[in-house]
Amino acid sequence: MFASWLTFALLLGTFCAGPSHGEVDTRECLFYNVNYEIEKTNQSGVERCEGEKDKRSHCYASWRNNSGTIELVKKGCWLDDFNCYDRQECVATEENPQVFFCCCEGNFCNERFTHLPEVNGPMIKAPPPTPTLLSVLVYSLLPVTMLSMALLLAFWMYRHRKPPYGHVDVNEEPGLVPPPSPLVGLKPLQLLEIKARGRFGCVWKAQMMNEYVAVKIFPIQDKQSWTNERDVFLTPGMKHENLLRYIAAEKRGTNLEMELWLISEFHERGSLTDYLKGNVISWIELCHIAETMACGLAYLHEDVPRYKGEGPKPAIAHRDFKSKNVMLRTDLTAIIGDFGLAVRFEPGKPPGDTHGQVGTRRYMAPEVLEGAINFQRDAFLRIDMYAMGLVLWELVSRCKAADGPVDEYMLPFEEEIGQHPSLEDLQEVVVHKKMRPVFKDCWLKHPGLEAMCETIEECWDHDAEARLSAGCVEERISQIRRLTSPPTSDCLVSMVTSVTNVDLPPKESSI
Protein backbone atom coordinates (compact mmCIF):
# COMPACT_ATOMS: atom_id res chain seq x y z
CA MET A 1 0.00 0.00 0.00
CA PHE A 2 2.92 2.34 0.80
CA ALA A 3 4.43 1.66 -2.63
CA SER A 4 1.09 2.40 -4.26
CA TRP A 5 0.88 5.70 -2.35
CA LEU A 6 4.30 6.73 -3.58
CA THR A 7 3.27 5.79 -7.12
CA PHE A 8 0.25 8.08 -6.89
CA ALA A 9 2.44 10.96 -5.78
CA LEU A 10 4.68 10.58 -8.86
CA LEU A 11 1.86 10.48 -11.48
CA LEU A 12 1.24 13.92 -13.03
CA GLY A 13 -1.21 14.67 -15.86
CA THR A 14 0.27 16.10 -19.04
CA PHE A 15 -1.19 17.46 -22.24
CA CYS A 16 -1.98 15.18 -25.14
CA ALA A 17 -2.34 15.71 -28.93
CA GLY A 18 -5.09 17.80 -30.54
CA PRO A 19 -8.68 16.66 -31.10
CA SER A 20 -9.57 13.90 -33.53
CA HIS A 21 -12.14 13.81 -36.27
CA GLY A 22 -14.43 10.81 -36.66
CA GLU A 23 -14.78 7.61 -34.70
CA VAL A 24 -11.58 6.03 -33.37
CA ASP A 25 -11.52 2.32 -32.64
CA THR A 26 -10.56 1.62 -29.01
CA ARG A 27 -9.46 -1.94 -28.31
CA GLU A 28 -6.96 -1.65 -25.43
CA CYS A 29 -6.56 0.71 -22.49
CA LEU A 30 -4.11 1.03 -19.65
CA PHE A 31 -5.60 -0.52 -16.49
CA TYR A 32 -5.11 0.54 -12.86
CA ASN A 33 -7.15 -0.10 -9.72
CA VAL A 34 -6.21 1.36 -6.35
CA ASN A 35 -8.64 -1.10 -4.73
CA TYR A 36 -7.16 -4.13 -6.46
CA GLU A 37 -6.73 -6.10 -3.22
CA ILE A 38 -10.37 -5.65 -2.18
CA GLU A 39 -11.80 -6.22 -5.67
CA LYS A 40 -9.45 -9.13 -6.48
CA THR A 41 -8.09 -7.61 -9.70
CA ASN A 42 -4.64 -6.82 -11.01
CA GLN A 43 -3.19 -3.55 -9.75
CA SER A 44 -2.09 -2.40 -13.19
CA GLY A 45 -1.63 -3.60 -16.73
CA VAL A 46 -3.55 -3.56 -20.03
CA GLU A 47 -7.32 -4.12 -20.34
CA ARG A 48 -8.93 -5.34 -23.57
CA CYS A 49 -12.18 -3.54 -24.27
CA GLU A 50 -14.83 -6.16 -24.97
CA GLY A 51 -18.11 -4.25 -25.12
CA GLU A 52 -21.14 -5.06 -27.20
CA LYS A 53 -20.54 -5.20 -30.95
CA ASP A 54 -22.76 -2.23 -31.79
CA LYS A 55 -21.37 0.07 -29.10
CA ARG A 56 -18.23 2.19 -28.97
CA SER A 57 -15.52 1.69 -26.36
CA HIS A 58 -13.39 4.33 -24.67
CA CYS A 59 -10.55 4.58 -22.15
CA TYR A 60 -10.86 6.51 -18.90
CA ALA A 61 -8.83 7.70 -15.93
CA SER A 62 -9.87 9.00 -12.50
CA TRP A 63 -7.63 10.65 -9.93
CA ARG A 64 -7.45 13.02 -6.97
CA ASN A 65 -5.40 16.17 -6.59
CA ASN A 66 -4.35 16.56 -2.97
CA SER A 67 -2.59 19.93 -2.78
CA GLY A 68 -0.75 19.32 -6.02
CA THR A 69 -0.10 15.62 -5.44
CA ILE A 70 -1.78 13.40 -8.03
CA GLU A 71 -3.30 10.22 -6.58
CA LEU A 72 -4.45 7.83 -9.31
CA VAL A 73 -7.71 5.97 -8.52
CA LYS A 74 -8.65 3.91 -11.59
CA LYS A 75 -7.89 3.44 -15.28
CA GLY A 76 -9.47 1.09 -17.79
CA CYS A 77 -12.12 0.62 -20.49
CA TRP A 78 -15.30 2.74 -20.49
CA LEU A 79 -18.40 1.63 -22.39
CA ASP A 80 -20.36 3.67 -24.92
CA ASP A 81 -20.69 7.28 -23.64
CA PHE A 82 -21.40 10.20 -25.98
CA ASN A 83 -19.37 12.49 -23.67
CA CYS A 84 -16.27 10.59 -24.78
CA TYR A 85 -16.91 10.66 -28.55
CA ASP A 86 -14.10 12.02 -30.76
CA ARG A 87 -11.75 12.80 -27.87
CA GLN A 88 -8.18 11.66 -28.39
CA GLU A 89 -6.93 13.30 -25.23
CA CYS A 90 -8.06 12.47 -21.70
CA VAL A 91 -9.01 15.85 -20.23
CA ALA A 92 -11.15 16.51 -17.14
CA THR A 93 -13.14 19.74 -17.47
CA GLU A 94 -15.02 20.03 -14.17
CA GLU A 95 -14.00 23.04 -12.09
CA ASN A 96 -12.97 21.42 -8.80
CA PRO A 97 -14.42 17.91 -8.24
CA GLN A 98 -13.42 15.59 -5.42
CA VAL A 99 -12.41 12.99 -7.99
CA PHE A 100 -11.31 14.04 -11.47
CA PHE A 101 -12.60 11.95 -14.39
CA CYS A 102 -11.75 11.98 -18.09
CA CYS A 103 -12.39 9.66 -21.03
CA CYS A 104 -11.10 9.43 -24.58
CA GLU A 105 -11.00 7.30 -27.73
CA GLY A 106 -7.99 5.46 -29.12
CA ASN A 107 -5.73 2.69 -27.86
CA PHE A 108 -3.94 3.63 -24.60
CA CYS A 109 -5.22 7.21 -24.85
CA ASN A 110 -5.58 7.21 -21.03
CA GLU A 111 -1.81 6.94 -20.56
CA ARG A 112 -1.68 10.70 -20.10
CA PHE A 113 -4.40 12.75 -18.45
CA THR A 114 -4.84 16.33 -17.40
CA HIS A 115 -7.28 18.89 -16.03
CA LEU A 116 -8.39 21.90 -18.08
CA PRO A 117 -11.38 23.52 -16.34
CA GLU A 118 -13.80 25.42 -18.54
CA VAL A 119 -13.52 28.99 -17.20
CA ASN A 120 -15.12 32.21 -18.42
CA GLY A 121 -12.27 34.67 -18.56
CA PRO A 122 -8.51 34.90 -18.24
CA MET A 123 -6.76 33.50 -15.21
CA ILE A 124 -4.61 36.04 -13.35
CA LYS A 125 -1.45 34.56 -11.91
CA ALA A 126 -0.12 35.94 -8.68
CA PRO A 127 3.56 36.98 -8.64
CA PRO A 128 5.88 34.32 -7.23
CA PRO A 129 6.55 34.81 -3.49
CA THR A 130 9.99 35.83 -2.30
CA PRO A 131 11.71 32.92 -0.51
CA THR A 132 11.88 33.43 3.27
CA LEU A 133 13.58 31.57 6.08
CA LEU A 134 10.24 30.00 7.02
CA SER A 135 9.63 28.71 3.50
CA VAL A 136 13.14 27.27 3.34
CA LEU A 137 12.52 25.40 6.60
CA VAL A 138 9.15 24.16 5.38
CA TYR A 139 10.58 22.84 2.10
CA SER A 140 13.45 21.20 3.98
CA LEU A 141 11.24 19.44 6.49
CA LEU A 142 8.48 18.56 4.02
CA PRO A 143 10.03 15.28 2.74
CA VAL A 144 10.60 14.03 6.30
CA THR A 145 7.05 15.01 7.30
CA MET A 146 5.52 13.34 4.24
CA LEU A 147 7.51 10.14 4.84
CA SER A 148 6.38 10.05 8.47
CA MET A 149 2.75 10.56 7.46
CA ALA A 150 3.03 7.81 4.84
CA LEU A 151 4.41 5.38 7.43
CA LEU A 152 1.64 6.30 9.89
CA LEU A 153 -0.97 5.87 7.15
CA ALA A 154 0.45 2.49 6.17
CA PHE A 155 0.42 1.37 9.82
CA TRP A 156 -3.16 2.59 10.29
CA MET A 157 -4.35 0.80 7.15
CA TYR A 158 -2.60 -2.38 8.23
CA ARG A 159 -4.41 -2.28 11.57
CA HIS A 160 -7.75 -1.55 9.90
CA ARG A 161 -7.37 -3.64 6.76
CA LYS A 162 -10.46 -5.38 5.40
CA PRO A 163 -10.61 -9.17 5.38
CA PRO A 164 -10.61 -10.91 1.96
CA TYR A 165 -14.29 -11.75 2.39
CA GLY A 166 -17.00 -9.18 2.07
CA HIS A 167 -20.42 -9.28 3.65
CA VAL A 168 -23.99 -8.89 2.57
CA ASP A 169 -26.17 -6.68 4.73
CA VAL A 170 -29.71 -6.96 3.49
CA ASN A 171 -30.98 -4.33 5.95
CA GLU A 172 -28.20 -1.81 5.31
CA GLU A 173 -30.23 1.10 4.02
CA PRO A 174 -32.74 2.70 6.44
CA GLY A 175 -36.30 2.58 5.27
CA LEU A 176 -35.60 -0.07 2.60
CA VAL A 177 -38.05 -2.93 2.63
CA PRO A 178 -36.07 -6.16 3.19
CA PRO A 179 -36.00 -8.23 0.01
CA PRO A 180 -37.89 -11.52 -0.15
CA SER A 181 -34.84 -13.61 0.63
CA PRO A 182 -33.84 -16.27 3.14
CA LEU A 183 -30.82 -14.18 4.13
CA VAL A 184 -30.74 -13.12 7.77
CA GLY A 185 -28.05 -10.73 8.97
CA LEU A 186 -24.58 -10.93 7.44
CA LYS A 187 -23.12 -13.68 5.27
CA PRO A 188 -19.58 -13.89 3.84
CA LEU A 189 -19.19 -13.24 0.13
CA GLN A 190 -16.09 -13.62 -2.05
CA LEU A 191 -15.70 -12.44 -5.65
CA LEU A 192 -14.24 -15.15 -7.90
CA GLU A 193 -14.17 -14.09 -11.57
CA ILE A 194 -15.68 -11.60 -13.99
CA LYS A 195 -18.28 -13.28 -16.20
CA ALA A 196 -19.62 -10.36 -18.24
CA ARG A 197 -19.37 -6.64 -18.84
CA GLY A 198 -22.31 -4.45 -19.73
CA ARG A 199 -23.53 -0.88 -20.03
CA PHE A 200 -23.67 -0.24 -16.30
CA GLY A 201 -20.76 -2.30 -14.98
CA CYS A 202 -19.48 -5.83 -14.71
CA VAL A 203 -20.96 -9.09 -13.42
CA TRP A 204 -18.90 -11.32 -11.14
CA LYS A 205 -19.31 -14.93 -10.18
CA ALA A 206 -19.06 -14.99 -6.39
CA GLN A 207 -19.40 -17.44 -3.53
CA MET A 208 -21.71 -16.79 -0.58
CA MET A 209 -21.51 -19.54 2.01
CA ASN A 210 -22.02 -22.74 -0.04
CA GLU A 211 -23.87 -21.02 -2.90
CA TYR A 212 -22.61 -19.41 -6.08
CA VAL A 213 -24.20 -16.02 -6.75
CA ALA A 214 -23.91 -13.30 -9.39
CA VAL A 215 -22.72 -9.87 -8.24
CA LYS A 216 -23.42 -6.98 -10.60
CA ILE A 217 -21.17 -4.05 -9.69
CA PHE A 218 -22.21 -0.53 -10.69
CA PRO A 219 -19.90 2.49 -10.42
CA ILE A 220 -21.25 5.42 -8.43
CA GLN A 221 -21.96 7.29 -11.69
CA ASP A 222 -24.70 4.72 -12.44
CA LYS A 223 -26.45 4.91 -9.08
CA GLN A 224 -29.78 5.65 -10.80
CA SER A 225 -29.64 2.38 -12.73
CA TRP A 226 -28.70 0.42 -9.58
CA THR A 227 -31.51 2.05 -7.63
CA ASN A 228 -34.03 1.41 -10.39
CA GLU A 229 -33.08 -2.26 -10.79
CA ARG A 230 -33.14 -2.81 -7.03
CA ASP A 231 -36.56 -1.15 -6.76
CA VAL A 232 -37.94 -3.28 -9.61
CA PHE A 233 -36.68 -6.44 -7.87
CA LEU A 234 -38.30 -5.27 -4.62
CA THR A 235 -41.66 -4.71 -6.34
CA PRO A 236 -44.28 -6.99 -4.78
CA GLY A 237 -44.96 -10.12 -6.79
CA MET A 238 -41.59 -10.23 -8.59
CA LYS A 239 -40.99 -13.86 -7.61
CA HIS A 240 -41.38 -15.99 -10.74
CA GLU A 241 -39.53 -19.02 -12.06
CA ASN A 242 -38.68 -17.21 -15.31
CA LEU A 243 -37.45 -13.97 -13.70
CA LEU A 244 -34.00 -13.63 -12.16
CA ARG A 245 -34.06 -14.31 -8.40
CA TYR A 246 -32.94 -11.31 -6.36
CA ILE A 247 -30.86 -11.84 -3.22
CA ALA A 248 -29.66 -8.48 -1.89
CA ALA A 249 -28.28 -5.01 -2.65
CA GLU A 250 -25.26 -3.45 -0.99
CA LYS A 251 -23.10 -0.33 -1.04
CA ARG A 252 -19.30 -0.71 -0.89
CA GLY A 253 -16.75 2.01 -0.21
CA THR A 254 -17.30 5.68 0.58
CA ASN A 255 -17.92 8.94 -1.27
CA LEU A 256 -17.10 8.89 -5.00
CA GLU A 257 -15.18 5.60 -4.69
CA MET A 258 -18.41 3.89 -3.65
CA GLU A 259 -19.49 0.84 -5.64
CA LEU A 260 -23.05 -0.42 -5.76
CA TRP A 261 -23.58 -4.18 -5.68
CA LEU A 262 -26.65 -6.10 -6.80
CA ILE A 263 -26.61 -9.77 -5.83
CA SER A 264 -28.75 -12.37 -7.58
CA GLU A 265 -28.78 -16.08 -8.40
CA PHE A 266 -25.98 -17.35 -10.64
CA HIS A 267 -26.47 -19.37 -13.84
CA GLU A 268 -23.38 -21.20 -15.10
CA ARG A 269 -24.64 -21.40 -18.70
CA GLY A 270 -24.66 -17.62 -18.89
CA SER A 271 -26.75 -15.66 -21.37
CA LEU A 272 -28.72 -16.91 -24.35
CA THR A 273 -26.30 -14.99 -26.60
CA ASP A 274 -23.31 -16.87 -25.18
CA TYR A 275 -25.07 -20.22 -25.46
CA LEU A 276 -26.15 -19.73 -29.07
CA LYS A 277 -22.64 -18.68 -30.07
CA GLY A 278 -21.27 -22.06 -29.02
CA ASN A 279 -24.22 -24.40 -29.53
CA VAL A 280 -26.89 -25.37 -32.02
CA ILE A 281 -30.26 -26.34 -30.54
CA SER A 282 -32.83 -29.02 -31.28
CA TRP A 283 -36.50 -28.31 -32.01
CA ILE A 284 -37.48 -29.42 -28.49
CA GLU A 285 -34.85 -27.13 -26.95
CA LEU A 286 -35.97 -24.20 -29.11
CA CYS A 287 -39.58 -24.64 -27.97
CA HIS A 288 -38.56 -24.91 -24.31
CA ILE A 289 -36.36 -21.80 -24.36
CA ALA A 290 -38.89 -19.78 -26.36
CA GLU A 291 -41.89 -20.81 -24.25
CA THR A 292 -40.24 -20.14 -20.89
CA MET A 293 -38.87 -16.81 -22.16
CA ALA A 294 -42.35 -15.75 -23.32
CA CYS A 295 -43.78 -16.91 -19.99
CA GLY A 296 -41.35 -14.69 -18.08
CA LEU A 297 -42.03 -11.63 -20.23
CA ALA A 298 -45.80 -12.23 -20.06
CA TYR A 299 -45.63 -12.27 -16.26
CA LEU A 300 -43.46 -9.13 -16.23
CA HIS A 301 -46.01 -7.32 -18.44
CA GLU A 302 -49.00 -8.50 -16.40
CA ASP A 303 -50.91 -6.66 -13.68
CA VAL A 304 -51.12 -9.25 -10.89
CA PRO A 305 -53.65 -8.76 -8.06
CA ARG A 306 -52.71 -9.18 -4.43
CA TYR A 307 -51.68 -12.78 -3.77
CA LYS A 308 -50.63 -14.49 -0.53
CA GLY A 309 -50.01 -11.22 1.25
CA GLU A 310 -47.94 -9.81 -1.61
CA GLY A 311 -48.83 -7.37 -4.32
CA PRO A 312 -50.51 -6.13 -6.26
CA LYS A 313 -47.78 -6.36 -8.89
CA PRO A 314 -47.96 -3.60 -11.56
CA ALA A 315 -47.25 -4.10 -15.26
CA ILE A 316 -43.52 -3.65 -15.96
CA ALA A 317 -41.90 -2.89 -19.33
CA HIS A 318 -38.33 -4.22 -19.64
CA ARG A 319 -37.09 -1.68 -22.26
CA ASP A 320 -33.81 -3.55 -22.92
CA PHE A 321 -35.04 -7.00 -23.91
CA LYS A 322 -32.40 -8.94 -25.88
CA SER A 323 -30.73 -12.34 -25.91
CA LYS A 324 -27.89 -11.06 -23.71
CA ASN A 325 -30.41 -10.30 -20.94
CA VAL A 326 -31.93 -13.78 -21.01
CA MET A 327 -30.09 -16.28 -18.77
CA LEU A 328 -30.34 -20.07 -19.07
CA ARG A 329 -30.62 -22.66 -16.32
CA THR A 330 -28.86 -26.00 -16.77
CA ASP A 331 -32.09 -27.46 -18.26
CA LEU A 332 -32.26 -24.49 -20.71
CA THR A 333 -35.15 -22.81 -18.92
CA ALA A 334 -35.04 -19.10 -19.78
CA ILE A 335 -34.61 -16.52 -17.01
CA ILE A 336 -35.10 -12.80 -17.75
CA GLY A 337 -32.78 -10.35 -15.97
CA ASP A 338 -31.22 -6.85 -16.13
CA PHE A 339 -34.02 -4.49 -15.09
CA GLY A 340 -31.90 -1.33 -14.95
CA LEU A 341 -34.06 0.41 -17.57
CA ALA A 342 -37.39 -1.18 -16.63
CA VAL A 343 -40.45 1.00 -15.99
CA ARG A 344 -43.30 0.17 -13.60
CA PHE A 345 -46.85 1.27 -14.40
CA GLU A 346 -48.58 1.58 -11.04
CA PRO A 347 -52.15 2.97 -11.01
CA GLY A 348 -52.21 6.59 -9.87
CA LYS A 349 -48.42 6.99 -9.97
CA PRO A 350 -46.18 8.43 -12.70
CA PRO A 351 -44.05 5.69 -14.34
CA GLY A 352 -40.79 7.56 -13.75
CA ASP A 353 -38.15 8.10 -16.43
CA THR A 354 -39.73 7.17 -19.77
CA HIS A 355 -37.11 8.71 -22.05
CA GLY A 356 -37.74 7.25 -25.49
CA GLN A 357 -34.43 6.15 -27.03
CA VAL A 358 -33.06 3.81 -24.40
CA GLY A 359 -31.97 0.21 -24.64
CA THR A 360 -29.69 -1.49 -27.14
CA ARG A 361 -29.77 0.16 -30.57
CA ARG A 362 -29.93 -3.09 -32.58
CA TYR A 363 -33.13 -4.20 -30.78
CA MET A 364 -34.96 -0.85 -30.95
CA ALA A 365 -38.45 -0.93 -32.46
CA PRO A 366 -39.22 1.30 -35.49
CA GLU A 367 -41.17 3.78 -33.39
CA VAL A 368 -38.22 4.12 -31.01
CA LEU A 369 -35.73 4.64 -33.84
CA GLU A 370 -37.81 7.43 -35.38
CA GLY A 371 -38.67 8.99 -31.99
CA ALA A 372 -42.42 8.57 -32.41
CA ILE A 373 -43.33 6.81 -29.15
CA ASN A 374 -46.70 7.05 -27.50
CA PHE A 375 -45.66 7.32 -23.84
CA GLN A 376 -48.37 4.98 -22.57
CA ARG A 377 -48.08 1.59 -20.89
CA ASP A 378 -49.19 -0.46 -23.89
CA ALA A 379 -46.73 1.32 -26.20
CA PHE A 380 -43.78 0.29 -24.01
CA LEU A 381 -44.99 -3.31 -23.79
CA ARG A 382 -45.21 -3.46 -27.59
CA ILE A 383 -41.61 -2.25 -27.85
CA ASP A 384 -40.58 -5.28 -25.77
CA MET A 385 -42.54 -7.53 -28.15
CA TYR A 386 -40.65 -6.24 -31.19
CA ALA A 387 -37.39 -7.17 -29.44
CA MET A 388 -38.80 -10.59 -28.55
CA GLY A 389 -39.41 -11.22 -32.26
CA LEU A 390 -35.69 -10.62 -32.92
CA VAL A 391 -34.65 -12.96 -30.08
CA LEU A 392 -36.97 -15.68 -31.40
CA TRP A 393 -35.31 -15.24 -34.81
CA GLU A 394 -31.91 -15.79 -33.14
CA LEU A 395 -33.21 -19.07 -31.70
CA VAL A 396 -34.60 -20.26 -35.05
CA SER A 397 -31.33 -19.35 -36.82
CA ARG A 398 -29.42 -21.82 -34.60
CA CYS A 399 -31.95 -24.67 -34.72
CA LYS A 400 -30.80 -27.89 -36.40
CA ALA A 401 -34.32 -29.21 -37.03
CA ALA A 402 -34.52 -27.80 -40.58
CA ASP A 403 -33.19 -29.81 -43.52
CA GLY A 404 -30.15 -27.68 -44.22
CA PRO A 405 -26.90 -26.35 -42.74
CA VAL A 406 -26.97 -24.22 -39.58
CA ASP A 407 -25.08 -20.97 -40.05
CA GLU A 408 -22.75 -19.43 -37.49
CA TYR A 409 -24.49 -17.33 -34.86
CA MET A 410 -25.25 -13.79 -35.97
CA LEU A 411 -26.99 -10.93 -34.22
CA PRO A 412 -30.19 -9.55 -35.75
CA PHE A 413 -29.38 -7.33 -38.78
CA GLU A 414 -25.68 -8.28 -38.59
CA GLU A 415 -25.84 -9.69 -42.12
CA GLU A 416 -27.57 -6.56 -43.43
CA ILE A 417 -25.62 -3.75 -41.70
CA GLY A 418 -22.71 -5.38 -39.88
CA GLN A 419 -21.59 -5.63 -36.27
CA HIS A 420 -21.48 -1.92 -35.42
CA PRO A 421 -24.50 -0.22 -37.01
CA SER A 422 -25.11 3.45 -36.41
CA LEU A 423 -28.50 4.85 -35.45
CA GLU A 424 -28.81 6.16 -39.01
CA ASP A 425 -28.10 2.69 -40.45
CA LEU A 426 -30.90 1.16 -38.40
CA GLN A 427 -33.31 3.98 -39.18
CA GLU A 428 -32.70 3.43 -42.90
CA VAL A 429 -33.11 -0.36 -42.76
CA VAL A 430 -35.80 -0.80 -40.10
CA VAL A 431 -37.91 2.36 -40.42
CA HIS A 432 -37.63 3.45 -44.06
CA LYS A 433 -37.06 0.13 -45.86
CA LYS A 434 -39.05 -1.84 -43.26
CA MET A 435 -36.55 -4.71 -43.48
CA ARG A 436 -36.31 -7.53 -40.95
CA PRO A 437 -33.84 -10.42 -40.54
CA VAL A 438 -34.28 -12.99 -43.33
CA PHE A 439 -36.01 -16.39 -43.01
CA LYS A 440 -34.14 -19.16 -44.86
CA ASP A 441 -36.17 -21.30 -47.26
CA CYS A 442 -35.35 -24.51 -45.39
CA TRP A 443 -36.92 -23.12 -42.21
CA LEU A 444 -40.24 -22.65 -44.01
CA LYS A 445 -40.22 -26.31 -45.13
CA HIS A 446 -40.27 -27.48 -41.49
CA PRO A 447 -43.86 -27.30 -40.16
CA GLY A 448 -42.88 -26.23 -36.65
CA LEU A 449 -40.32 -23.63 -37.76
CA GLU A 450 -42.76 -22.26 -40.34
CA ALA A 451 -45.36 -21.68 -37.62
CA MET A 452 -42.66 -20.12 -35.42
CA CYS A 453 -41.67 -17.74 -38.26
CA GLU A 454 -45.31 -16.66 -38.63
CA THR A 455 -45.37 -15.83 -34.92
CA ILE A 456 -42.09 -13.92 -35.22
CA GLU A 457 -43.49 -11.81 -38.06
CA GLU A 458 -46.46 -10.84 -35.88
CA CYS A 459 -44.09 -9.87 -33.05
CA TRP A 460 -41.96 -7.48 -35.12
CA ASP A 461 -44.83 -6.02 -37.17
CA HIS A 462 -44.11 -2.43 -38.24
CA ASP A 463 -47.53 -1.45 -36.87
CA ALA A 464 -46.99 -1.57 -33.11
CA GLU A 465 -50.69 -2.11 -32.37
CA ALA A 466 -50.71 -5.24 -34.57
CA ARG A 467 -48.03 -7.01 -32.53
CA LEU A 468 -48.81 -10.05 -30.42
CA SER A 469 -48.76 -9.88 -26.63
CA ALA A 470 -46.26 -11.97 -24.66
CA GLY A 471 -49.09 -14.13 -23.29
CA CYS A 472 -50.30 -14.89 -26.82
CA VAL A 473 -46.76 -15.81 -27.92
CA GLU A 474 -46.46 -18.18 -24.96
CA GLU A 475 -49.78 -19.84 -25.87
CA ARG A 476 -48.88 -20.18 -29.55
CA ILE A 477 -45.48 -21.74 -28.86
CA SER A 478 -47.08 -24.14 -26.41
CA GLN A 479 -49.61 -25.20 -29.06
CA ILE A 480 -46.94 -25.54 -31.77
CA ARG A 481 -44.82 -27.65 -29.42
CA ARG A 482 -47.71 -29.96 -28.56
CA LEU A 483 -48.64 -30.47 -32.20
CA THR A 484 -45.07 -31.29 -33.20
CA SER A 485 -44.06 -33.37 -30.19
CA PRO A 486 -42.76 -36.72 -31.49
CA PRO A 487 -42.94 -40.03 -29.63
CA THR A 488 -39.12 -40.06 -29.75
CA SER A 489 -36.61 -37.24 -29.52
CA ASP A 490 -35.86 -36.56 -33.19
CA CYS A 491 -38.77 -38.10 -35.10
CA LEU A 492 -40.58 -34.83 -35.64
CA VAL A 493 -42.36 -34.50 -38.92
CA SER A 494 -43.83 -37.99 -39.09
CA MET A 495 -46.33 -37.30 -36.33
CA VAL A 496 -47.39 -33.88 -37.62
CA THR A 497 -50.26 -33.79 -40.04
CA SER A 498 -49.73 -30.14 -40.86
CA VAL A 499 -49.09 -27.45 -38.29
CA THR A 500 -49.86 -24.76 -40.78
CA ASN A 501 -53.44 -25.99 -41.07
CA VAL A 502 -54.02 -25.48 -37.35
CA ASP A 503 -55.70 -22.29 -36.21
CA LEU A 504 -53.24 -20.51 -33.97
CA PRO A 505 -54.54 -18.58 -30.96
CA PRO A 506 -55.78 -15.11 -31.91
CA LYS A 507 -53.92 -11.97 -30.94
CA GLU A 508 -54.69 -10.56 -27.54
CA SER A 509 -55.89 -6.99 -27.23
CA SER A 510 -54.25 -6.40 -23.86
CA ILE A 511 -51.44 -4.40 -25.40
- Kindly tell me the burial class for residue 106, based on how many C-beta atoms sit within 10 Å of its own C-beta (0-12, 13-18, 19 or more): buried
Please, what's the b/e burial string for 451-466 (b: 16 or more CB within 10 A of its CB; e: otherwise)? bbbbbbebbbbeebee
Query: What number of other Cβ atoms are within 10 A of residue 431's Cβ?
Result: 18
Q: Is 481:291 a contact under the CB 8 Å cutoff?
A: yes
Q: What residue type is assigned to position 152 of the chain?
A: L
Measured CA to CA, the distance from residue 413 to residue 229 in angstroms comes to 29
Q: Which residues pair with 196 in a beta bridge?
A: 203
Q: Residues 492, 493, 497, 503: is their CA dihedral positive or negative? A: positive
Query: What number of other Cβ atoms are within 10 A of residue 335's Cβ?
Result: 24
DSSP, residue by residue, 85-113? TT--SEEE--SS-SSEEEEE-STTTTSSE
Query: CB under 8 Å to 398, separation ≥6 — which residues?
Result: 276, 279, 280, 281, 406, 409
Q: Of the residues 320, 338, 384, 461, which is catalytic? A: 320
DSSP code at position 428: I
For 493-497, which contacts have Cβ atoms below 8 Å and span 24 or more sequence positions?
Answer: 493/446, 493/447, 496/447, 496/448
Measured in whole angstroms, how far is the alpha carbon of residue 1 from the centre of its chain? 32
Measured CA to CA, the distance from residue 241 to residue 227 in angstroms comes to 23
- Kindly tell me the burial class for residue 155, based on how many C-beta atoms sit within 10 Å of its own C-beta (0-12, 13-18, 19 or more): exposed
Q: Residues 95, 101, 107, 108: is their CA dihedral positive or negative? A: positive
The Cβ-side half-sphere exposure at 469, using a 13 Å CA radius, reads 18
3-state helix, strand and coil shares in percent for the chain, rounded to the nearest 5: 35, 20, 45
Query: Which of 23, 16, 2, 482 is closest to 288 using CA atoms?
Result: 482
Query: Which of 112, 344, 97, 49 is closest to 220 using CA atoms?
Result: 97
Active site residue 54: no
Q: Is 324:271 a contact under the CB 8 Å cutoff?
A: yes
Q: Which residues pair with 191 in a beta bridge?
A: 206
DSSP code at position 440: P
Q: Where are the alpha helices (DSSP H) in 271-365?
A: 272-278, 283-301
- Kindly tell me the burial class for residue 11, based on how many C-beta atoms sit within 10 Å of its own C-beta (0-12, 13-18, 19 or more): middle
Active-site residues, by number, are 320
